[in-house]
Amino acid sequence: MELATMLELLGSGLVLTLQVFFTTLVGALPLGVVVALCRMSRFKPLALITRFYISVMRGTPLMLQLMALMFGPYYLLGLELGSDWKYWACSIGFIINYAAYFGEIYRSGLQSIPRGQYEAAEVLGYTRAQTFLKIILPQVAKRILPAMSNEVITLVKDTSLAFVVGIMEMFTQAKALAASQVSMLPYLLAGVIYWVFNFIVEMILTRIEKKMSYYHD
C-alpha cells in the first residue's frame, strides 16, 4: 500500500478523533462547573450524590463506562437504539467521565481562594456576580490551568478508546492497516500524528498560561 493511501486512511480516522476530542471539551468543560458547584453544595444529599458520581467516574476504567453505555440499554432494558447510538454512547461516556475530573479541578481552584477576598469585594460594593467574574474567576483560571492542560492532553490519547464502541478513530485505523499490511509503519505514523496534535494543544495552552501570568497570587 502506498504511503499516501495509508495517510489518507489515517486522516479519515483523525477526523473522528478530533470529533470525539472537541465534543468532549464542549460538553465536559461547562458540565464540570456544575459538578464542582454540586460537590461544594451545603445541601448534603446533593453533595453526597456528586461525590459518589465522581468516585465511580474516577474509580472505574473509561473503557468499561463506554461499554456500559453502549451495551447496557440493550442487555438491561431490551432497547435497540440503532447504529447511530455508538456515537451518542461515545460522546456521553467521554463527557461524563471528564466532567468528573474537571469538576474536581474547578473545586480545588475555587477553594484555594482566601475567604478574605470575598469579604473585601463585599466591602467594596461588588455584587456576587461581579466578585466571581472580576476577582475570583481570573485567579481560579490561572491556578487550575496546569492541571486542566494535563487533562486535555490526556484526552487526546484517550480518544483511542472510542474503538470499544465501534468508532473507527485514528488508532483503530492504524491497527487495521498494520494487520492488513503486516507492518509497524501505520503505528509509527499514528504515533507521530498524536504527538503533533498534542504538541499543538500544548503550545496553545502554554500561550494562554503566559497571557494569564499577570495575575499574581
**Tens digits of residue pLDDT in 94-129:** 999 999 999 999 999 988 888 888 888 888 888 888
For the residues 156-160, what does the mean pLDDT come to? Answer: 93
DSSP 131: I
The pLDDT confidence band at residue 23, using thresholds 50, 70 and 90, is: very high
pLDDT average, residue stretch 191-207: 93
pLDDT score recorded for residue 211: 81
C-alpha closest to that of 152 among 107, 100, 205, 84: 205
Closest CA to 86 of 66, 100, 106: 66
What's 132's DSSP letter? Answer: I
Q: Minimum mean pLDDT among 5-9, 15-19, 191-195: which range?
A: 5-9
Q: Using CA of residue 28, residue 31, residue 35, residue 37, what is the dihedral sign?
A: positive
Cα-based angle 58, 60, 65 (whole degrees, multiple of 5): 105
Length of the chain: 217
Asked whether the predicted pLDDT for residue 214 surpasses 70, the reply is no
Q: What distance in Å separates the CA atoms of residue 172 and residue 188, rounded to the nearest whole number? A: 13
pLDDT at 28: 96
- Region 52-70 average pLDDT: 95
Cα–Cα distances in Å, from 55 out to 7, 37, 49, 83, 103? 40, 16, 10, 30, 12
Lookup result for grid cell 456515537: 87
CB neighbourhood size of 95 (10 A):
21
Share of the chain above pLDDT 70, in %: 98
For residue 188, pLDDT beyond 90:
yes
Cβ atoms of 54 and 103 within 8 Å: the answer is yes
Tell me which amino acid residue 31 is: L
**Out of 41-45, 115-119, 172-176, which region has the weakest mean confidence (pLDDT)?**
115-119
Predicted local confidence at residue 208, as pLDDT: 86
The closest of 98, 175, 113 to 144, measured between CA atoms, is 113
Average pLDDT over residues 167-176: 90
How much is the pLDDT for 213?
72
Sorted by where each starts, the structural domains of the chain and their CATH numbers stand as 19-167 (1.10.3720.10)
